[in-house]
A and B are shown apart, each in its own frame.
Chain A
Amino acid sequence: MARELEHLSDEALLALVARAEEPALAEVYDRFGAVAYGLALRVLRDEGLAQDAMQDAFLAVWRTAHTFAPERGAARTWILTLVHRRAVDLVRREERRRGDPLDSAPEPESGERTDELTWLRFERERVQAALRQLPDKQREALELAYYGGFTQSQLAERLGEPLGTIKTRMHSGLARLRDLLQPEETEWTSSTT
């Protein structure tokens, strides 16, 4: 069964999770566990809290997979949004607000599913390269918001800028990043792993 699940799209897998198929949840975890944990650690900077966020997020996947609407976006986005939201909720509660520069992120370790980790390395390079092309202030706003867990008002205060400026930076930065990450034809495999 596990082998068969490997060949399903992320979206099809979530449909199985919605039917309370435990092996499907395990496969979702195997596909997204490393990126989810990397994200939770980046936001929370604490292994125990990151594990709490993982547990909350994957149980939310289990409970609410039936609310996932494939026409509104990719399963990957839906899952990682749940993980990010839990991590941000926790970081705000713990007052552990950090926004260290991205290049201090830990290197992924080698593990059993090397195909997935190769993929993660490839994606990391691609997204980091796109981030480097953003104007510094836009990149800073995105990183502090997404990895630091700051609200836009906290960011305005911290950076000593008007709220409107922060909103514009986040919006321009994210829209620019979207355009930079738009797949080229030769990169179509990027949406397939």
Chain B
Amino acid sequence: MDELHDLTAAYALDALDADEQRAYEAHLATCERCQVELAQLSDTASALAYATGGTPPPPELRGQILARAREERTNVVPLGPRRRPTFQALTAVAACLLVGLGAWNLSLRHELDRKSALARILGDPAAQRVDLQGTRGQLVVSPSGAALVTGLGVAPDGKTFEAWLIPAGGGKPVPAGTFSRGGAFVLDGKPAPGTAVAVTVEKAGGADQPTTNPIVSAKLA
């Protein structure tokens, strides 16, 4: 079995032959250690793609691929009726992130509460939405609460992301909860009009006051 653990890096680099690959995948399904290590090493392997610097593909390729995708569209069944794109987008964000939430090590009760809160906020077509500064994403504020949807990656070992509410006109930032990876996060407290929301990187467990500069911010009208 130990031998199969040793194949994680080679698998991440696509450097196994077909038989080795099958054996490793069978092992992977039952080995949590390898799943965790593979996630990290695959991420590093894909960074190697960036060392090439990228090359813009020939312009006609985009249309060809999209045309092929359109032809296949009948094979992919869209879910539910068509709605306004913004609503659809955010419902999908919610669906995607609810899955992501499953991995968070929260108590079941806490998790269920968060899931339903998130679904209520992101699913509210009347919610106010503000684009974030510093990363792709949005601050979504509905009557039932507020959520941050960010493109942040995973917080480094021993660190956490912490959200803050900064009252209109300045004043001490109020902690609004910690989270360990990008995606959707329900803020503690509901920001009033004019409030700014910011995210900093803090040591695990969070801080009472921000100790680093914000990496993400948004201001409510």
Q: A9-B151, A74-B153 are in contact. Are A124 and B53 (CB under 8 A)?
A: yes
Which residues of chain B are within 8 angstroms of A42 by Cβ–Cβ distance?
A: 52
Interface mask (B111-145 → A, CB under 8 Å = 1, otherwise 0): 00000000000000000000110111110000000
Task: For chain B, residues 129 to 186, give those with C-beta under 8 angstroms from any C-beta of chain A.
Answer: 131-132, 134-138, 149-154, 156, 159, 182-183
Q: A62-B76, A174-B41, A174-B44 are in contact. Are A70 and B99 (CB under 8 A)?
A: yes
Most buried by B among A12, A147, A171: A12
Residue among A4, A12, A36, A38 making CB contact with B53, cutoff 8 Å: A38
User: How far, in angstroms, from A142 to B55 measured CA to CA in the complex?
Assistant: 21
User: How far, in angstroms, from A69 to B100 measured CA to CA in the complex?
Assistant: 7
Q: Does B207 sit within 8 A of A, measured CB to CB?
A: no
Distance in angstroms from B109 CB to nearest chain A CB is 19
Main secondary structure of the interface of A (DSSP, over half): helix
Q: Is the CB of A26 within 8 A of B66?
A: yes
Task: For chain A, residues 1 to 18, give those with C-beta under 8 angstroms from any C-beta of chain B.
Answer: 1, 4-12, 14-16, 18
For A153, the closest partner residue in chain B by CB is B17
Which residues of chain A are within 8 angstroms of B182 by Cβ–Cβ distance?
A: 9, 11, 191
Q: Sort chain B's interface into a size bin.
A: 35 or more
Q: Is the CB of A59 within 8 A of B46?
A: no
Q: A145-B15, A153-B17 are in contact. Are A174 and B69 (CB under 8 A)?
A: no
Q: Is the CB of A183 within 8 A of B135?
A: no
Q: A9-B137, A81-B14, A111-B56 are in contact. List 7 more A-B contacts (CB 8 A).
A: A12-B93, A33-B62, A105-B51, A142-B13, A152-B16, A192-B153, A193-B151
Residues of A at the B interface (CB closer than 8 Å) are 1, 4-12, 14-16, 18-22, 25-26, 29-30, 33-39, 41-42, 47, 51, 54-55, 58-59, 62-63, 69-74, 76-77, 80-81, 83-85, 88, 102, 105-109, 111, 117, 120-121, 123-124, 126-128, 131, 142, 145-147, 149-153, 155, 167, 170-171, 173-175, 177-178, 181-183, 185, 188-193
